[in-house]
Amino acid sequence: MKFKSIISAFALGLFATYGALKTIDAQAQSAKPWGPNWNDADELILPVGYREWVYLGSPLTPNGLNGGQAGFPEFHNVYIQPQAFSIYRETGVFPEGTIMLKELQLTIPGDEADGSRTEVSGRGFFPGEFNGIDISVKDTQRFPEGQGWGYFNFGHHAPPYAKTAAAAPVEACAQCHIDNADEDMVFSRFYAPLKK
């Protein structure tokens, strides 16, 4: 009886140690427990659970309004990692490790020439299938040439998306944000929840 309980205490101890080590291992990958995770090749690992992050808004540039072929005809559903959002709300600054994620979502095929369709709520554009992911990460050490932000494309197609992505060249992504974004590389004018 006594021996048994010593054994189970020992097992419990081992289990607790294993749990603690696992946590340390997970945190070693990221400077912050909620920040981005990188693999050994310095590629960004696709975050999980992002559809539960803070939803900022969905710009829409449909084909019907862009000569029949928009670069991104989908809804651009933009999310921000929740801890980064809280810190931004408190300080007005995107903290190091902020992740902004844009998931593209096709419109349901239309029955009008402009690609719109009529549903019971009216005529318009309605969200359909998911179709790609773009991510930006604030890390001023890693991405000085992107004004402190790195840009990543995980595919412009239906899921499954790439599991990891290398940083895109500055001219492919960051440059347009440098030239046109509102605030610290982010197009915050479109994201009502960021407004002070």
Q: Which residues contact ligand HEC (rule: CB under 6 A)? A: 59, 61, 76, 78, 100, 102, 134-136, 151-153, 168, 172-173, 176-177, 181, 186-187, 190
Q: Considering beta carbons, is residue 54 or 100 the nearer one to ligand HEC?
A: 100
**Tokens found for residue 36:** 């981005």
**Residue 58 identity:** S
- Write b or e for each residue in 29-42: b if 16 or more Cβ atoms lie within 10 A of its Cβ, otherwise e: eeeeeebbebeeee
Round to whole Å and give the CA distance between 89 and 174. 24
Q: Considering beta carbons, is residue 153 or 164 the nearer one to ligand HEC?
A: 153
Q: Considering beta carbons, is residue 118 or 140 the nearer one to ligand HEC?
A: 140
Q: Considering beta carbons, is residue 81 or 136 the nearer one to ligand HEC?
A: 136
Round to whole Å and give the CA distance between 138 and 98. 5
What is the closest distance, in whole angstroms, from the C-beta atom of residue 40 to ligand HEC in the complex? 22
What is the closest distance, in whole angstroms, from the C-beta atom of residue 126 to ligand HEC in the complex? 18
Round to whole Å and give the CA distance between 133 and 46. 9
